[in-house]
């Protein structure tokens, strides 16, 4: 009975991956299909870099609805974070593109180096309802962008100034909002000063219990960020701040939310039209199977090692 149950469980996890793979190649946009192929099928990473460069505008920033909730073609700091994360997911470094991004970010930053999530141009195009106003420059998305640029290994006056500003805020007055803290985690992951990164991780962990949009316990019944967003793999710097029971409960909940078509749902309203919803579901599915695979909760057969 025990062997049969274990075999059935293994078959379910293998079938879950194959259903997700079918969904990715049927519904996801090109970016996530390429990332899926790199991570799970040994495909070359260079096409991901070529695609991200195609999103770059003459001002050096990234545009063209790279984040599916904003359909504008103009460059946005939010899009920069998405593009740099795609390069990180593919294990790619592109010095020239990254330095051009730094120049764009410097042009839209405040004196401290902080950048806003979006610029006024974003509001002139179809968008999700939650993008109805502008935000002040701050940790989100500046910390994430700085962390991902440090992964790229570039040096730039704006990056130095913005990194210093982010670290000062996180050490002395960390935000109590989960998206901002997730942005800070990206800085922790790639900050060259690892001793400082460890101190920042402690401050993030202290702020998490009171953070809005943080969902500490499974099941997840409303929109929010969970421990798996902050620690999507066992070797994540933030993993040590969550109990095994927390992680296991969220992994089980995440696996259970796979839908009949093989993809994962989204829990907010994207812009009108089918394209944004499909694009987001492709991203959510890529993230879900990547996390489940990293923790051994899905059987994806012969795959490349976790990057």
- Backbone φ and ψ for 53, nearest 5 degrees, come out as -65, -30
pLDDT digits (tens, 9 = 90+) for 136-171: 999 999 999 999 999 999 999 999 999 999 999 999
Residue 12 pLDDT:
76
Q: Which residue has 């012969």 as its token pair? A: 302
For 162-212, what is each residue's pLDDT tens digit? 999 999 999 999 999 999 999 999 999 999 999 999 999 999 999 999 999
Query: How confident is residue 305, by pLDDT bands cut at 50, 70 and 90?
Result: very low
Give the least confident one: 3-12, 69-78, 94-103: 3-12
Q: How much is the pLDDT for 9?
A: 67
- CATH architecture for the domain at 2-294: Alpha/alpha barrel (1.50)
pLDDT at residue 3 tops 80: no
Phi/psi at 177 (nearest 5 deg)?
A: -140, 130
The token duo for 39 is 């991570």
* Number of other CB atoms surrounding residue 254 within 10 Å: 23
What is the distance between the alpha carbons of residues 40 and 247, in angstroms, rounded to a whole number? 23
CA gap 207, 286 in Å, rounded:
28
pLDDT of residue 118: 98
Model confidence pLDDT, tens digit, residues 21-36: 999 999 999 999 999 9
Residue 39: is its pLDDT beyond 50? Answer: yes
**What is the average per-residue pLDDT within 7-20?**
79
Report whether 292 contacts 254 (CB < 8 A): yes
The residue ranges of every structural domain in the chain are 2-294
Question: Given pLDDT bands bounded at 50, 70 and 90, which one contains residue 302?
Answer: low
């Amino acid at each position: 009975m025990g062997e049969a149950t274990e075999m059935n469980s293994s078959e379910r996890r293998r079938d879950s991956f194959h259903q997700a793979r079918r969904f990715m190649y049927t519904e996801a946009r090109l970016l996530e299909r390429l990332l899926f192929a790199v991570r799970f099928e040994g495909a070359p990473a260079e096409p991901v870099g070529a695609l991200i460069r195609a999103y770059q505008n003459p001002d050096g920033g990234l545009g063209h609805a790279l984040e599916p909730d904003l359909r504008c073609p103009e460059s946005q700091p939010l899009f920069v974070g998405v593009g740099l994360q795609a390069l990180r997911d593919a294990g790619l470094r592109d010095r020239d593109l990254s330095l051009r991004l730094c120049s764009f970010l410097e042009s839209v930053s405040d004196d401290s180096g902080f950048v806003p999530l979006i610029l006024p141009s974003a509001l002139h195009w179809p968008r999700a309802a939650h993008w109805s106003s502008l935000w002040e420059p701050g940790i989100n998305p500046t910390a994430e962008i700085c962390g991902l640029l440090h992964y790229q290994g570039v040096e730039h006056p704006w990056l130095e100034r913005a990194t210093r500003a982010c670290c000062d805020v996180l050490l002395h007055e960390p935000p109590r909002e989960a998206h901002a803290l997730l942005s800070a985690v990206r800085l922790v992951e790639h900050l060259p000063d690892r001793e400082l990164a460890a101190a920042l991780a402690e401050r993030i962990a202290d702020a998490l219990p009171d953070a809005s949009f943080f969902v500490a316990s499974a099941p997840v019944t409303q929109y929010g960020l969970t421990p798996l967003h902050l620690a999507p793999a066992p070797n994540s710097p933030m993993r040590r701040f969550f109990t095994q029971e927390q992680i296991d409960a969220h992994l089980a909940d995440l696996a259970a939310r796979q839908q009949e078509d093989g993809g994962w749902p989204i829990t907010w309203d994207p812009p009108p039209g089918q394209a944004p919803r499909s694009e987001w579901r492709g991203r959510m599915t890529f993230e879900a199977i990547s996390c489940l695979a990293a923790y051994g909760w899905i059987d994806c057969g012969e795959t490349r090692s976790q990057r």
